[in-house]
Amino acid sequence: MKRALVRFRNSAFRSFIRRHQKYAPILFFIAGFIFDSLTLGRIDRLYDLIVLCCYMTALTITLYLYNLVDDGRWKNTLLGRYEEYLPLVIQFFFGGLSSAYVIYFSRSVSLSKTLSFFIILLVLFFANELLKKRISNKYLQFSVYFFISFTFFSFIIPVFISEMNTRIFIISGLVSLCCTLVLIIFIYSLSPSTRSEISLIKLIGIILAIYTLINTFYYFKLIPPVPLAMDIGIVAHNIKMENNKYLVSYETDEWYVFWRNHRLKFIHDPKESVFVFSSIFAPTDLEKSILHRWEWYNETIKEWEIVEDIGYDITGGRDGGYRGYTFKNSVKPGLWKVQVITEEELVLGVIDFEIVINPALRPKRMVQKKI
């Protein structure tokens, strides 16, 4: 009775998938995305690490299995009964891993410096749904896999070794490149159907082009410095310590401006200082030096001028992020921004504001927040 029920359910599911074959891959992609959005939180949490490592391992195995389907390798085996589901499994893991990256990237306050990286991320993932052959296109399949693999290792390696710098990023890229090329060559050597569909030299050339592109983005500081991220960035009138918490006094904007904490127009009294507070998320045990780069916009030459770099060290592991602040006296009126950057000048976030020097004006909506 139980076996009959299982067969009926399998038959019903198979029939449903076949009826909705056109939309099934994108539904599984979205399912993986939603699942991780609801369950993942921080990259150094044991659960997150296990999930990401299992996803990456399962994706690699499933790609291997799927690319040998056309060779009849799984015919008359248990796996052969379910081989039509392999593209859906691949889509699920693509969606799951991509959602994890979006979750961790989105912890950054500002994406202005790294928006182009996210555009490439979205194009790679959703191009898979737009192309006629979808996941069966092996060039696209392995290109997306390599991009996901590169991002995976750039997250995981700094977490495991508690170190993050340019050398570690290069190592992460090389590990990903080697793993992807080994997988491609291994499948190519075992699968006659794969050899008939693709040119190995062309596919390796595409992978190397993506590798070069990602490193070019890193060189021009267009990639977020994962796994670091800025949680909070505020320009404040005063900051002081109280019971191991920072008491930050700042002016808020109108109620409908919900996407930032502070008001852009900073009413400044020359007798007081201008404070900038930031909270940085960093994985446990990862130590890093952070800089606040104060810049002023020179209206005469229409360029941003670096006024001063003020640094402080962070140590990871705190859920609320590692807190710190810098301040300046004798500031000029006009547009200012403070870039929160790493030693390698990768941007964690940008805090924008305009200084209006008028001691007669009083800030309207002052609040004090313990962070």
pLDDT digit string (tens) for 216-246? 988 887 777 777 777 788 999 999 888 888 8
Percentage of the chain exceeding pLDDT 90: 32
Asked, for residue 10, whether it belongs to a domain, the answer is no
Same domain, 49 and 124: yes
Last residue of a domain, one of 200, 219, 238: 219
Q: Look at residue 9 in the predicted model and tell me its pLDDT.
A: 47
Residues 6+ apart with CB under 8 A from 235: 250, 262, 266, 274, 275, 276, 277, 338, 351, 353
Asked, for residue 293, whether it belongs to a domain, the answer is yes
Asked, for residue 89, whether it belongs to a domain, the answer is yes
pTM over 0.85: no
Same domain, 267 and 163: no
* CA–CA distance, 188 with 185 (Å, rounded to integer): 5
> Which CATH number fits the domain that encloses residue 272?
2.60.40.1930
Q: Any long-range contacts for 305-314 (C-beta under 8 Å, 24+ apart)?
A: 313/287, 313/288, 313/289, 314/280, 314/282, 314/287, 314/288, 314/289, 314/290
Same domain, 160 and 282: no
Asked, for residue 2, whether it belongs to a domain, the answer is no
Same domain, 353 and 211: no
Asked, for residue 6, whether it belongs to a domain, the answer is no
Same domain, 105 and 169: yes
| Number of domains the chain contains | 2
Same domain, 210 and 68: yes
Considering the chain, what is the average pLDDT of its residues?
80
Q: Average of pLDDT values for 365-370?
A: 84
Asked, for residue 4, whether it belongs to a domain, the answer is no
pLDDT higher at 130 or 167: 167
* CA–CA distance, 28 with 16 (Å, rounded to integer): 13
Asked, for residue 346, whether it belongs to a domain, the answer is yes
Please name the residue that has the structure tokens 């993932």.
125
Q: Look at residue 131 in the predicted model and tell me its pLDDT.
A: 46
Same domain, 129 and 255: no
Asked, for residue 3, whether it belongs to a domain, the answer is no
Confidence band of 4 (pLDDT split at 50, 70, 90): very low
Write out the two tokens for 17: 């998938």
Domain limits for position 196:
16-219
Same domain, 247 and 161: no
Same domain, 258 and 320: yes
Same domain, 49 and 98: yes
Same domain, 315 and 206: no
Same domain, 20 and 157: yes
Last residue of a domain, one of 219, 251, 283: 219
Write out the two tokens for 114: 């790294």
